[in-house]
């Protein structure tokens, strides 16, 4: 079983850059998307159920903003869309889908930058982290859960190309990194780092100055596994050569018996 996460930076935009061809060849059973940026009725019909996938989307109240979606080969047994905080829920940043015993959490974690890139939204961002942590905590050590998406935080220095220059930049401030560490300390496993300890692996690159070609990036997209889910994780990958967005897809391969985990 293969599960993907990808911030597509606009589903309609990435569809013009080969998304459906990538999806067809991805062998993904679940494909979680962030920053869909469109309500379902404005998503072209050929993207509703491409190549036999079922599409599940939620959109923000603000037009052309945020939004998350899932493409699945199997219909979810249930989907939860809310954290219970109106200021967060109106931005459509969350889907929690259950497939048998497995829960897949698709999250588009807020950016901490304000309108003037002044870090003013860091408290809002941390609120999302903390509410989601609290929501999942009761089941975290009992159930197989994957939390995936654009976390908008580079956890360690190895997770961005230029850590010294970005210590005051949202996404790498101490308080944001500490909140990410709280998840890891509680037992969530960074699946990619479980398999790959080396540097130079990133999931987002600025669209300016040709930095992607130079691999001057940040690793801000993750798939975290609860301890019970981690037992079934066979591989974790970043796919930097997949183009179409300023982010690239990430994935995990699972033993499909996770759906029947006890």
- As a whole number, mean pLDDT of residues 253-262 equals 95
Q: How many angstroms separate the Cα of 201 from the Cα of each of 50, 208, 211?
A: 30, 19, 14
- As a whole number, mean pLDDT of residues 175-191 equals 98
The number of residues in the chain equals 262
Per-residue pLDDT band for 105 (boundaries 50, 70, 90) equals very high
Residue 112, pLDDT above cutoff 90: yes
pTM: 0.98
Q: What was the pLDDT predicted at 183?
A: 98
Per-residue pLDDT band for 195 (boundaries 50, 70, 90) equals very high
Sheet with 54-58: strands ordered across = 54-58, 68-72, 30-34, 2-7, 250-254, 233-238
Q: What was the pLDDT predicted at 18?
A: 97
255 is catalytic: no
Residue 155: both structure tokens together: 């956890």
Instruction: Give which of 133, 123, 98, 114 is closest to 229, Cα–Cα.
Output: 98
Distance between CA 7 and CA 66 in Å, rounded?
A: 10
The residue from 29, 87, 150, 221 that is catalytic is 150
Instruction: Give which of 4, 8, 9 is closest to 25, Cα–Cα.
Output: 4
Let me know: does 44 contact 15? Beta carbons within 8 Å.
yes
**Cα angle value 178/181/185 (rounded, 5°):** 135
Q: What is the DSSP letter of 204?
A: B
Residue 164, pLDDT above cutoff 90: yes
> Taking phi first (over 0 means left), then psi (-120 to 50 degrees means alpha), and beta for anything else, what does residue 90 get?
alpha
- As a whole number, mean pLDDT of residues 158-185 equals 98
pLDDT tens string 3-50: 999 999 999 999 999 999 999 999 999 999 999 999 999 999 999 999
| Mean of pLDDT over the chain | 97
pLDDT tens string 210-233: 999 999 999 999 999 999 999 999
- As a whole number, mean pLDDT of residues 54-75 equals 97
Residue 115, pLDDT above cutoff 90: no
Residue 194, pLDDT above cutoff 90: yes
Residue 262, pLDDT above cutoff 90: no
Domains located in the chain, CATH noted: 2-260 (3.60.10.10)
**Residue 100: exposed, middle, or buried by beta-carbon count in 10 A (0-12, 13-18, 19+)?**
middle
Let me know: does 161 contact 217? Beta carbons within 8 Å.
yes
């Amino acid at each position: 079983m293969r599960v993907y996460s990808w911030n597509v930076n606009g589903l309609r935009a990435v569809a013009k850059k080969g998304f459906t061809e990538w999806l067809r060849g991805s062998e993904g059973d679940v494909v979680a998307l962030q920053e869909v940026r469109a309500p379902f009725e404005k998503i072209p019909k050929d993207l509703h159920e491409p190549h036999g996938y079922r599409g599940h989307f939620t959109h923000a109240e603000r037009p052309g903003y945020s939004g998350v979606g899932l493409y699945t080969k199997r219909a979810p047994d249930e989907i939860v869309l809310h954290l219970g905080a109106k200021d967060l829920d109106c931005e459509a940043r969350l889907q929690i889908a259950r497939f048998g015993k497995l829960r897949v959490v698709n999250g588009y974690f807020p950016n901490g930058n304000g309108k003037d890139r002044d870090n003013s939204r860091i408290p809002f961002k941390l609120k999302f982290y903390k509410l989601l942590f609290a929501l999942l905590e009761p089941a975290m050590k009992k159930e197989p859960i994957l939390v995936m998406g654009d976390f908008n935080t580079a956890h360690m220095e190895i997770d961005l190309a230029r850590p010294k220059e970005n210590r005051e930049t949202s996404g790498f401030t101490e308080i944001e990194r500490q909140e990410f560490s709280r998840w890891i300390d509680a037992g969530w496993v960074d699946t990619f780092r479980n398999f790959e300890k080396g540097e130079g692996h990133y999931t987002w690159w600025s669209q300016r100055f040709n930095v992607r070609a130079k691999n001057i990036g940040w690793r801000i997209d993750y798939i975290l596994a609860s301890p019970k889910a981690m037992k079934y994780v066979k591989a974790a990958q970043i796919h930097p050569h997949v183009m179409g967005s300023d982010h690239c897809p990430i994935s995990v391969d699972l033993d499909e018996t996770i759906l029947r985990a006890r």
